[in-house]
Amino acid sequence: MQKTEFTKFKLPNGVRVVLVPQKSSVATTVIVLVETGSKYETKKINGLSHFLEHMCFKGTTRRPKPSDISSELDGLGAVYNAFTDTEMTGYWAKAKNDAAPKLLDIVSDLYLNPTFDSKEIEKEKGVIIEEINMYEDLPRQKAGELFMKLVYGDQPAGWSIAGRKEVIRRTTREDFLAYRGTHYLAPATTVIVSGGFDAARMERLVRRAFGSLPRGRKGTKLPVRESQSRPREVVHFKKVEQTHLILGFRSFGIYDPRRPALQLMAHVLGGGMGSRLFKRVREELGAAYYVNASADFLTDHGIVSMSAGAKHEKLEAVLKVGVEEFGRFTRELVPQDELVRAKNHLTGTFLLSLETSDELGSFYGAQEVFHRPLRTPAQLVREIQRVSADDIRAVARQVVKPNRLNLAILGPYKKRSFRGILKL
Instruction: Read off the pLDDT of residues 21-60 as tens digits, 9 standing for 90 and up.
Output: 999 999 999 999 999 999 999 999 999 999 999 999 999 9
CA dist., res. 86 & res. 156, Å (int): 8
Give a yes or no: residue 218 inside a domain: no
For CA atoms 81, 43, 295, 312, the dihedral sign is negative
In the sheet with 243-250, reading across from the earlier edge strand, the strands are 232-237, 405-411, 243-250, 302-310, 288-297
Does 227 map to a domain? Answer: no
Please tell me the predicted confidence (pLDDT) of residue 400: 98
Per-residue confidence band for 1, with pLDDT thresholds at 50, 70 and 90: very low
Report yes or no on 220 lying in a domain.
no
Q: State whether 205 and 315 are in the same domain.
A: no
Same domain as 257, residue 128: no
Q: What is the mean pLDDT of residues 153-168?
A: 97
pLDDT tens digits along 247-262: 999 999 999 999 999 9
User: Are 238 and 200 found together in one domain?
Assistant: no
Residue 22: Cβ within 10 Å count: 21
Q: Which residues pair with 8 in a beta bridge?
A: 2, 18
User: Is the pLDDT confidence value at 94 over 70?
Assistant: yes
pTM of the predicted model over 0.75: yes
In a domain, 293, yes or no: yes
Residues 281 and 367 in one domain: yes
- Sorted by sequence, the CB contacts under 8 Å of residue 335 that are 6+ apart come out as 389
Interval 206-235 mean pLDDT: 96
* CA atoms lying within 13 Å on the CB side of residue 91: 27
**Counted domains in the chain:** 2
Give yes or no: residues 302 and 393 share one domain. Answer: yes
Mark whether 278 and 378 lie in a shared domain.
yes
Rg of the chain over Cα atoms, rounded to whole angstroms, equals 23
Would you state the pLDDT for residue 5?
86
- Angle between helix axes 48-55 and 118-136 (nearest 10 degrees) is 120
CATH number for 297: 3.30.830.10
**Is-contact 176 55, C-beta < 8 A?**
yes
Hey, how many other C-beta atoms are within 10 angstroms of the C-beta on 88?
A: 23
Assess whether 36 and 120 both reside in one domain: yes
Identify whether residues 258 and 198 lie together within a single domain. Answer: no
Are residues 101 and 55 both part of a single domain? yes
Q: Of 210, 240, 269, which closes a domain?
A: 210
Distance CA 360, CA 24 (A): 13
User: Both 73 and 107 in a single domain?
Assistant: yes
Predicted confidence (pLDDT) at residue 2 exceeds the cutoff of 90: no
Q: Is position 194 within any domain?
A: yes
Name the DSSP letter for residue 371. Answer: T
57 falls within a domain:
yes
Whats the size of the chain, residue-wise?
A: 424
What does the mean pLDDT of the chain come to?
A: 97
Q: d(Cα 352, Cα 359) in Å, to the nearest integer?
A: 10
217 in any annotated domain: no
Q: What does each C-alpha distance from 189 to 32, 214, 254, 420 come to in angstroms?
A: 7, 11, 19, 47
| Model confidence pLDDT, tens digit, residues 305-344 | 999 999 999 999 999 999 999 999 999 999 999 999 999 9
Q: Is 330 exposed, middle or buried (0-12, 13-18, 19+ CB in 10 A)?
A: middle
Coil, helix or strand at residue 424: coil
Q: Please give the positions annotated as active site.
A: 53
pLDDT at 159 over 90: yes
The answer to whether residues 416 and 235 touch, using CB atoms and an 8 Å cutoff, is yes
SS (H, E, C) 154-178: CCHHHCCCCCCHHHHHHCCHHHHHH
Boundary (domain end) residue, out of 180, 210, 240: 210
Q: Is residue 106 part of a domain?
A: yes
414 and 320 within one domain: yes
Range of the domain at 42: 2-210
- Model confidence band, residue 277 (pLDDT cutoffs 50, 70, 90): very high
Cβ of 233: how many Cβ atoms within 10 Å? 17
Give the chain's largest Cα–Cα span. Answer: 64
Residues 124 and 189 in one domain: yes
Q: Which residues contact 258 (CB under 8 A, 6 or more apart)?
A: 252, 391, 395, 398
Residue 12: pLDDT band with limits 50, 70, 90: very high
